[in-house]
Structures are given as C-alpha cells and as structure tokens.
Amino acid sequence: MKTDRLYYLLEGYKKNSLNAEEQQELTRAIADTSNAEALKGWLADSWGKETLPDLLSKEQSQSLYESIRENLKPAEENLKPNKNQFPRYRSGRISRIAAAASIVIALSALSYLWFANHKQSRVDEFTKTIAQSQDIKAPDATKARITLADGSTLYLDSLDKGESASQQGAEIVKLEKGELQYKGTGTAKEVTFNTLVNPRGSDVVIITLADGTRIWLNAESSITYPTSFIKGERKIELTGEAYLEVARNEKMPFIVNVRNKAEVKVLGTEFNIKAYDDEPEIKTTLVRGEVQVARIARNDSVKVLQYYRLKPGEQASLNKEGILSVGQVDIKEHIVWKNNMFCFNDTDLESIMKNLSRWYDVDVSYENPGLKSLTFGALISRRSNISAILNLMIMTGTVNFEISNGRIVVKDTPKDGPKYGQGEMI
C-alpha cells in the first residue's frame, strides 16, 4: 500500500472518521508485513505531536509507546518462539488474526487517549455511540473485610480515616489514603492471625503489616497473617494476587504459603504473586532483591521442599502438574495492576476476560469456545469503564460482546462486520 494512503487511513482511524470499508482496508494493511516500517514512522511522528503525559505519567506514556512499537514488528517476527517463554501453538490462520488484532488494539488505545487529551466532547460522543446503558464502571471503593482472631468481621468501609481497631498485641489504623496499618503494641504473648479478604469488584487494598511489610491485594484475593511478629519466621498465606514489599529482617525470614501448593521465602525484597484458583499456573515474579520458590510436595505425609532461587526479572511458574519452571519476563506486564493499569501483551482472550471478571465483578460466557485463544495487546487504565476495553477489541473485527445484567457473552463478529452502537454491540 502507498504510504500516503496508509497515513490517511491511520489518521482517520485516530479521529474515528473511517467507514466500515476503510476500517477493513486498514486492518488488512496493518497485517501486511511490508507496511511495518511505514507504520513505525507514523507512530513516531504521531506520538511526538500528542501530549499524552497529561493523561499518563512519563513512564506509562513510554511504556505504551514501546508496547505499540513492539506490536509493529513483522508478523513472522512476532510469532517467533521466545526461548524464555513456554511454547505456544496456534494455527496459521489464528496466528495471523492474533498478530493483526494485537496491532489494531494498540493503535486503538492511542486513538482513545488522543480523544481524551484533545476533545472531551469527542470522548463522550465516542462512548455514547458504542456503549450500552448496561456499561459497567470500574470499582472506586473497597468491599474488603477482615476476619479477626475472635472470628468477628471488620468491614474496611466501616472504619473512618484515622480511626483504629484493637487486636491482640496490635492496633489496626486506617490511614489518610485508605490504607491499613498494623502497629505492634508490644503486649502480644502469643501469635494470633487475621484474614483480609478482597472480593471481586473491589478496589485494590494496601496493608502494612506489623513488621513494616507492605502488601497490595488485588480483587478476588485474600491473605492470612499474624497481627504481630514475635519470634522465628514471618509466615503468611495467600490466594489470588498480591504485590509485596517485604521489610528486611535477616533473623526472621518472610515466608508466603501459596494455596498450599508453593512457598516463597525471602529476607527483604519486592515481588508479585499471582495464584488464582481458576488460573493454570502459580506465578512468582521478582522485581528486586532475591527470593526462593519451592513446590510443596509430600512424601508419606512429610512436607518436602525443593527451592529455586530467582533473580530480578525472572518468573517462577508452577503448573497444575506440579512442574516448576523459571524464565525471564517483562516485569511491568505483571505489576502494573497495582498502579491501576491493565497490560496485555499477546494475551489470550480467556485470560483477559478472567482479569475483567475479577475487577468489574461480571460473569463471562462464550458462544464460541474457539474465541478463547484469540490474543490481544493493550495498555489501558483500570479506571476505565469496561466498555472502553471491550470496544478496543471489537474494533479489531475479530470478536464481539454483549452485556446484560452484569453478564458478558463473548460472540463472533457478524459477517458484515462490527456496526458500532447497533443492537448488541458495546
């Protein structure tokens, strides 16, 4: 395709002025590897003209730029296996669709940000055009609760900022920004435990334990922890996802029991653990410091641990067969959630919808199970309504969605292509 025509289509796409035929023409052009260099040129020029840092931090803006540039590699290069990742098998047709979809959704994210940065009225018009009345907002408050040592329940929203509650040997304080902090009183004679549960559709909860360890707890996650640390090891239990900044104490190792299937042992470090029941793997990603990860096995009822040492930038994955593997990963993909961002990089649709299900508290079903293997790439705020994310995927022309009463049905795209704002479209 001639560069002038390609740039015309890209500018039209950014301004939401293309008709259905032009959108299909652009999708075909993006999937054509011969246009890769022209696409990179347009991206660099467009990015320089926009003032995206007004919407994103400098780091987020740069991350989004690099994400889109990465997706503009020729399709064959995008589909080469990474020796540090598990092999992924796809049919040729699905691979080509996935590559094109990944690029289009990244460009759609740029388009959405362009609207928001320049003309709020255009954003409102854009949303009204393709959003249903049953759109779902992102959580803006916590629904979390703490089960105290005596079995009673403390709901976080019942505590005013600056207010505190007492526990054996500790005081629970709700700080100015809504964070929780445990303060040891020095009176504990025995170890008692609390359990913090953050349900689906609840904002991230930040808690500082009595030893100074800081934890970000994602939606549909829970941790059980001591109210104070007296002696020996510091041990907590986790299900779901959490980011931890562990306070260093060489005399008291910090141990995370993950669903009784894995154990992470540290002295002082930062790392992320993702361990949802409905996910195929338990993933531990090290940001800085050093951790040891072990699979919990049993031999004649005796717990057996074999530790693997991680370095920053590495991730340990434990699958359902009990196989533990270690490889290099892009850290930001696994931790941006705590900064209220979704990061999808060649992520399959099933995984994306699981993330959305937990965050927005929606149930998901598929008319065609084959759609689960479609892959997409995007970096977008978790503060967006769910339609902002679903619409980006609809724009690729590979999938469609219907929202009704808090449920999302994933559907094939109509044969005549997406018709934004009509019928069941988001």
pLDDT tens across 405-424, in order?
A: 889 999 998 765 554 332 23
Contact 139, 423 (CB under 8 A): no
Does a structural domain hold residue 419?
no
**166 and 100 both lie in a single domain:** no
**109 and 244 both lie in a single domain:** no
Q: For residue 148, what are its two tokens?
A: 């105290």
**151 and 292 both lie in a single domain:** yes
Contact 252, 229 (CB under 8 A): yes
Residue 255 is predicted with a pLDDT of 94
- 276-307: per-residue pLDDT in tens? 999 999 999 999 999 999 988 866 665 667 88
Q: How far is it, in rounded angstroms, from Cα 339 to Cα 330? A: 16
Domain holding 18, by residue range, is: 3-135+340-411
**30 and 128 both lie in a single domain:** yes
Contact 406, 135 (CB under 8 A): no
Task: Write the CATH number for 312.
Answer: 2.60.120.1440
**307 and 191 both lie in a single domain:** yes
CA proximity to 209, closest of 220, 201, 217, 200: 217
Last residue of a domain, one of 276, 300, 333: 333
Q: Minimum mean pLDDT among 211-225, 261-275, 313-327, 371-385: which range?
A: 371-385
Question: Taking residues 236-255, what's their average pLDDT?
Answer: 94
Strands 145-147 and 193-198: antiparallel
- 376-385: per-residue pLDDT in tens? 877 788 888 8
Does a structural domain hold residue 190?
yes
**300 and 386 both lie in a single domain:** no
Last residue of a domain, one of 306, 333, 360: 333
**181 and 322 both lie in a single domain:** yes
Residue 385 is predicted with a pLDDT of 87
Confidence of residue 229 (pLDDT cuts 50, 70, 90): confident
**257 and 280 both lie in a single domain:** yes
Q: How far is it, in rounded angstroms, from Cα 128 to Cα 142? A: 28
Confidence of residue 19 (pLDDT cuts 50, 70, 90): confident
Residue 425 is predicted with a pLDDT of 34
Q: How far is it, in rounded angstroms, from Cα 257 to Cα 279? A: 17
User: Residue 140 — left, alpha, or beta (φ > 0 → left; ψ -120 to 50 → alpha)?
Assistant: alpha
Indicate the average pLDDT of the chain.
Answer: 77
Does a structural domain hold residue 418?
no
Last residue of a domain, one of 333, 362, 384: 333
Task: Write the CATH number for 29.
Answer: 3.55.50.30
Please tell me what DSSP assigns to residue 409.
E
Residues 6+ apart with CB under 8 A from 197: 144, 145, 146, 147, 221, 222
Asked if pLDDT for residue 154 goes beyond 60, the answer is yes
Asked if pLDDT for residue 426 goes beyond 50, the answer is no
How many folded domains does the chain comprise? 2
Please tell me what DSSP assigns to residue 113.
H
What is the CB neighbour count within 10 angstroms for residue 143? Answer: 18
Question: Taking residues 350-364, what's their average pLDDT?
Answer: 96
Does a structural domain hold residue 420?
no
Q: How far is it, in rounded angstroms, from Cα 420 to Cα 346? A: 25
